[in-house]
Amino acid sequence: MFAIKICRAHRTTSITASVVLAGIIPLDLRIKEHAHQYEIKRGKTLDLLNSQKIEGKISSFTLPHPAETVNIRFSLITSQEEIREDIESFNYYTNGSKLNGGVGCGISRWKNGVEISGNNFKLTHYCSVYQAELLAIFKATEIIIHENDLNSSIYSDSRSSLEEISNSKTEHPIVYKIHENIKEIKRCNQHIRFYWVKAHNSILGNERADELAKEGALSNELIPIYDSFPISYARNSIRAATIET
């Protein structure tokens, strides 16, 4: 009846014709979709996805004790003039990009208003921009530990990523690694701050990180360093197979 009302057909129209006219997926195929999604979330690999692995949540038993969690906050930056330039501190700008079927992330390291170094990385084509943004922040924390920077600031234009990092109870695998790196940074008496910057607002470091991320996405020489697909990719692949059926 829902399909008949949607396509405004006569009530004698068959269910097969009505769901086609209304653009509704038949219930038997929807049931199979939900079954496939359930199996993927439970860790089962499907031939439909070429046995690729999903980016699953970490076990709740792996999460740190509430007394050991890190409290992370971020501030907002809307213009180049608000960027804090300190002779003793390093600014890291991170970005993620998906372009022409490729996914990449970029990190630009600055000091005293001058770029010192830039890095870019590639992810597999089915990864999301959100994953790229988080991976860029994770790699930035790795560089901070390696370079032993005493005072560092990470600038990202992905507010959703920063909000996920601010959540001490998150079960996202990349964010968990970021939290572990932040603990290591604090154990070494290093200081780290996080900032959200407005994208495409003539902030030099952010524009440079965006350029590096696009280069990583388009590069044919870089080897992907991350290959776990998000649940959104699984849903889209399953839906495409359903439509074909």
**CATH topology for the 60-228 domain:** Nucleotidyltransferase; domain 5 (3.30.420)
Average pLDDT over the chain, rounded to whole?
A: 90
Residue given tokens 């890190």 in the structure block: 70
Note whether 181 and 142 are within 8 A (CB).
yes
Q: Is the pTM of the predicted complex or chain greater than 0.95?
A: no
DSSP 3-state assignment of 197? strand
Q: What torsion do the CA atoms of 103, 95, 183, 167 make, to the nearest 10 degrees?
A: -90
For residue 176, what pLDDT is reported? Answer: 93
Residue range 30-59: average pLDDT?
A: 81
For residue 58, what pLDDT is reported? Answer: 85
The more confidently predicted of residues 154 and 15 is 154
Q: Is the pLDDT score of 49 beyond 70?
A: no
**What distance, in Å, lies between the first and last C-alpha atoms of the chain?**
23
Domain with CATH 3.30.420.10 in the chain: 60-228
Per-residue model confidence as pLDDT tens digits over 79-117 = 888 887 766 789 999 999 999 999 999 999 999 889 999
Q: Estimate to the nearest angstrom the gap between the alpha carbon of 179 and the chain centroid.
A: 15
